[in-house]
A and B are shown apart, each in its own frame.
Chain A
Amino acid sequence: GAVVSQHPSRVICKSGTSVKIECRSLDFQATTMFWYRQFPKQSLMLMATSNEGSKATYEQGVEKDKFLINHASLTLSTLTVTSAHPEDSSFYICSATPGQGRPEAFFGQGTRLTVV
């Protein structure tokens, strides 16, 4: 199947610092990628839709200045958690759909962020 690679898989950072998470579609181009957040024992909640060459669309309640999304190419979207705080600790995961008649969304491996 199609491959989406997310990096890093695990990161620990100090409160107040910023963390960048990369999401790459390795064998297809993705004009749209999605960023989700998952708290322990809960479901995935959409944070934002990343659009290549334009601004991301954020879900209600998600601070766009805190969670910066850049989708500069058809194969790369980045999520930067700025001025991270302990409450930002969570599992972040991206997805992309190959299109071309293939309906399924493929996910990156996810990033477990711990802010200390």
Chain B
Amino acid sequence: AQKITQTQPGMFVQEKEAVTLDCTYDTSDQSYGLFWYKQPSSGEMIFLIYQGSYDEQNATEGRYSLNFQKARKSANLVISASQLGDSAMYFCAMREIGYGGSQGNLIFGKGTKLSVKP
């Protein structure tokens, strides 16, 4: 069975500094996708970044980068130059990618609450 583990319930970071949010996963699937979502207090889920299991390079999207270490089954999110608006819950998630590209539901970690200090 698939499982996502986020061991940091809460994190603090100073504005303009970088922060790493940890995520480890467990799966027996060979083809899968890893995702990070941001959930502000309003509740919406905002897609941040994606890493495919066969992607050799780490994904980057603006200030977000995903440190993908396949052998260690980790997919940490790095946020550079933190901003006050980055304060939110962050969820790591994964989904199986089946034959023909079919995709299952997302499995979520418990989340990390990030607080950016001015």
Q: Which residues of A contact B (CB under 8 A)?
A: 1, 34, 38, 42-44, 46, 49, 91, 93, 95, 97, 99, 101, 103-107, 109-110, 112
Which residues on B are within 8 Å of A, measured CB to CB?
Answer: 33, 35, 37, 42-45, 47, 50, 52, 91, 95, 97, 101, 103, 105-111
Taking a contact as CB atoms under 8 Å apart, the answer to whether B43 and A109 are in contact is: yes
Task: For the complex formed, measure the closest distance between the CB of A55 and the CB atoms of chain B, giving whole angstroms.
Answer: 16
Bound complex: CA of A101 vs CA of B103, how far in Å?
11
Q: Are B105 and A49 in contact (CB under 8 A)?
A: yes
Asked whether, in the complex, the Cβ of A93 is within 8 Å of the Cβ of B43, the reply is yes
- How many Å lie between the Cα of A46 and that of B108 in the bound state? 9
User: Are B35 and A104 closer than 8 Å at their CB atoms?
Assistant: yes
Question: Could you list 7 further interchain pairs (A-B, Cβ under 8 angstroms) beyond the known A46-B106, A93-B45?
Answer: A34-B105, A34-B106, A44-B91, A44-B106, A91-B43, A95-B45, A107-B45
Closest B-chain residue to A45, C-beta based? B108
Residues of A within 8 A of B43 (CB): 38, 91, 93, 109-110, 112
Does B108 lie within 8 Å of A105, measured CB to CB?
no
Asked whether B108 lies within 8 Å of A104 as measured between CB atoms, the reply is no
A104 touching B50 by the CB < 8 A rule? yes
Q: Which residue of A lies closest to B92 (CB)?
A: A43
The answer for the CA separation of A104 and B95 in the assembled complex, in Å, is: 10
Shortest distance from the beta carbon of A53 to any chain B beta carbon, whole Å: 16
- Specify which of A34, A93, A101, A105 lies most central, judged by the most chain B CB atoms within 10 Å of its CB: A105
